[in-house]
A and B are shown apart, each in its own frame.
Chain A
Amino acid sequence: MHSLADLFAPIVDQWPLYLQSFWVTIQLFLISGVASLIWGTALAGMRVSPIPVLRAFGTGYVNILRNTPLTLVFFFVAFGFPYLEINFSFFAFALIALSAYTSAFICEAVRAGLNSVPPGQAEAARAVGLTFFQTLNLVLLPQAFRAVVPPVSSLLIALLKNTTIAAGFSVAEAGTIRSNLSELGYAAFPVLLWVVIGFLILVLPLSALQRWFERRWRVA
């Protein structure tokens, strides 16, 4: 059905659109990825902290955000915030939605990592007089991170793919390529094929990074 020329037509004619859209995807991914890692780790700290209010907040946050479909989170942010007269660009709204959602998952992965550290470590840290934050930062988290490289990598890859939801909320990322090109009369299959290849190109370095971290942090 499709000739070779048809397969290459979208990328050959429309590569500026592909580049532009994927660049927005990369920006969404990098910024909300860093934000989710920071906020997710902070949430994990809250969930294991000795302060009940923080624990309750962390638990509530994770359970609400983790169990709400991402599209709903997007709706809440992109259409709900303006009702409260909080107005940012739709790009910023997308960053908020993606980070808020992903950090709930990162939190749980990091918490699992913390639980994998033998309790004796925390007890020893307390015994030598470290405070809770010192225990967490100097003893527990470095060991926890080592354990959570594979699950966190998976979450980041999921985040990368989740960025496509922003297409429905006025952010022109890779998820919009198809609607743009199908309006111009391109067949759906070749258009999407190049989107898939674009995502593969982005995911492969992430996998490489995961392997690098795993090797670097391996316990001899």
Chain B
Amino acid sequence: MKLRKLLVPVAVAVAGALALTGCGKTGSPTGGGAPSADVTVPVATNVKVDGSKTFQAMTSRGKVIIGVKEDQPNLGYKDPTTGKYSGFDIYIANAIAAKLGFGPDKIQYQPIPSANREQALTNGQVDYYVGTYTINDKRKKQVSFAGPYYVAGQDLLVRADDTSITGPETIKGKVVCSVTGSTPIQNIKEHKDKYGAETREFEKYSQCVDALLNKQVDAVTTDDAILKGYAAQQPGKLKVIGKPFSKEPYGVGIALSDSALRGKINDILDGLEKDGSWKKIYDATLGKSGTTAEPPALERY
């Protein structure tokens, strides 16, 4: 008994290290396997994007490199056993690639963490980026955005049996967790008088979700899209409160100077929303958390 108890931290440490190095992922069922037939869109032929350097690079390379997240279940997720990517952002990225003339076999995903996105786009390490990328004015100075293709908002994820937290006004004295330095945690910390919650900051959302299930924290806060992904992954154990208290319009990140590609991707997103592909993609991923959503209006600037 004693020995077993002692072994737990060792197992936790090893599992944690593996998660950090990306070698494996503990206790996470896969966030949906290969895209089902109804979320793929037909590959376009003879696509032209005049004046786009990025598009030129893609065609001469014969491959599109898409920046994504790989640790957000049902949103941007890489299955550690099969190596397959899935989720709402991934399928949106795939659909854009298809409309640009690149089939699934011509896509290379490049996982890029949030803090490195601007640099990766500026350096041309990725052609475009789809991964919970909030459009804001400061970022618009460094990169350009097509979209928004989704409007998320800061929300709270709690244990399914927790009735004490019903919204941001009920987190006084509770422990709230998010990723180190993220906008949602800065928001809670800056308005301490308003929220009155204690904060914990870890490297990854999955660590916060583990801490939530272990009752080390009472809530995880970030964009509802990310939280819905975790709720869809662990139905019956976790729930999203559903009262978003900020507006985070997600855009497709593109190199700053490439307005031709921005226009093209805006057209593509418009098409996806009109022909019902957007809705199918949502229902197959984030919709599994039991929520519905409408595509937002595009902001062409």
Task: Give A contacts to B, CB under 8 Å.
Answer: 1, 69, 71-73, 75-76, 79-84, 90, 167-170, 172, 176-189
Q: Which of B136, B141, B201 contacts A170 (CB 8 A)?
A: B201
The docked-state distance in angstroms from the alpha carbon of A1 to that of B118 is 13
Question: Is B116 in the interface zone, CB < 8 Å from A?
Answer: yes
Q: Which residues of B contact A183 (CB under 8 A)?
A: 114, 181-183, 186
Name which of A72, A73, A81 has the most chain B CB atoms within 10 A of its CB. A72
Q: Which of B10, B138, B182, B207 contacts A186 (CB 8 A)?
A: B138
Given the known inter-chain contacts A180-B181, A183-B182, A186-B138, please indicate yes or no for A168 contacting B13, CB distance below 8 A. no
Contact call A79/B203, Cβ cutoff below 8 A: no
The docked-state distance in angstroms from the alpha carbon of A76 to that of B6 is 11
The docked-state distance in angstroms from the alpha carbon of A7 to that of B141 is 15
Task: Give B contacts to A, CB under 8 Å.
Answer: 5-6, 8-10, 12-14, 16-17, 20, 114-116, 118-119, 122, 136-139, 141-142, 179-183, 186, 200-203, 207, 214, 216
Chain B: minimal CB distance from A13 (Å): 11
Contact call A83/B8, Cβ cutoff below 8 A: yes
Nearest chain A residue, comparing its CB with the CB of B207? A79
Q: Which residues of A contact B200 (CB under 8 A)?
A: 90, 170
Q: Which residues of B contact A179 (CB under 8 A)?
A: 114-115, 179-182
Contact call B115/A188, Cβ cutoff below 8 A: yes
The docked-state distance in angstroms from the alpha carbon of A189 to that of B122 is 12
Contact call A72/B17, Cβ cutoff below 8 A: yes
Q: What are 22 residue pairs bridging A and B, where the CB atoms are less than 8 Å apart in the complex?
A: A72-B13, A72-B14, A72-B17, A76-B10, A76-B12, A79-B9, A81-B9, A83-B8, A83-B9, A83-B12, A167-B203, A169-B202, A172-B201, A177-B181, A178-B181, A179-B115, A182-B118, A183-B181, A184-B183, A185-B139, A186-B138, A188-B118
Name which of A184, A185, A188 has the most chain B CB atoms within 10 A of its CB. A185
The docked-state distance in angstroms from the alpha carbon of A170 to that of B200 is 5
The docked-state distance in angstroms from the alpha carbon of A1 to that of B180 is 28
The docked-state distance in angstroms from the alpha carbon of A182 to that of B133 is 12
Chain B: minimal CB distance from A86 (Å): 10
The docked-state distance in angstroms from the alpha carbon of A84 to that of B16 is 17
The docked-state distance in angstroms from the alpha carbon of A1 to that of B138 is 16
Contact call A170/B115, Cβ cutoff below 8 A: no
Chain A: minimal CB distance from B197 (Å): 14
Nearest chain B residue, comparing its CB with the CB of A80? B9
Given the known inter-chain contacts A79-B12, A84-B5, A183-B181, please indicate yes or no for A188 contacting B114, CB distance below 8 A. no
Nearest chain A residue, comparing its CB with the CB of B115? A182
The docked-state distance in angstroms from the alpha carbon of A183 to that of B9 is 32
Q: Which residues of A contact B16 (CB under 8 A)?
A: 72, 75, 79
Q: Which residues of B contact A71 (CB under 8 A)?
A: 17, 20
Q: Which residues of A contact B179 (CB under 8 A)?
A: 179
Name which of A1, A83, A177 has the most chain B CB atoms within 10 A of its CB. A83
Chain B: minimal CB distance from A199 (Å): 18
Chain B: minimal CB distance from A176 (Å): 5
Chain B: minimal CB distance from A70 (Å): 11
The docked-state distance in angstroms from the alpha carbon of A184 to that of B139 is 9
The docked-state distance in angstroms from the alpha carbon of A72 to that of B9 is 11
The docked-state distance in angstroms from the alpha carbon of A170 to that of B199 is 8
Chain B: minimal CB distance from A164 (Å): 11
Supply 18 further A-B pairs (C-beta < 8 A) apart from A184-B138, A184-B186: A1-B122, A69-B17, A75-B12, A75-B20, A79-B13, A79-B16, A79-B207, A80-B8, A80-B10, A82-B216, A168-B203, A176-B180, A179-B180, A182-B181, A185-B138, A187-B118, A187-B119, A188-B116
Chain B: minimal CB distance from A61 (Å): 16
The docked-state distance in angstroms from the alpha carbon of A82 to that of B201 is 16
Contact call B13/A188, Cβ cutoff below 8 A: no
Chain B: minimal CB distance from A134 (Å): 38
Q: Which residues of B contact A180 (CB under 8 A)?
A: 180-181, 186
The docked-state distance in angstroms from the alpha carbon of A135 to that of B114 is 56
Given the known inter-chain contacts A170-B201, A178-B115, please indicate yes or no for A187 contacting B142, CB distance below 8 A. yes
Q: Which residues of A contact B118 (CB under 8 A)?
A: 182, 187-188
Q: Which residues of B contact A172 (CB under 8 A)?
A: 201
Chain A: minimal CB distance from B286 (Å): 22
The docked-state distance in angstroms from the alpha carbon of A73 to that of B10 is 10
Nearest chain A residue, comparing its CB with the CB of B15? A75
Q: Which residues of A contact B20 (CB under 8 A)?
A: 71, 75, 168
Q: Which residues of B contact A177 (CB under 8 A)?
A: 181
Q: Which residues of B contact A182 (CB under 8 A)?
A: 114-115, 118, 181
The docked-state distance in angstroms from the alpha carbon of A82 to that of B5 is 11
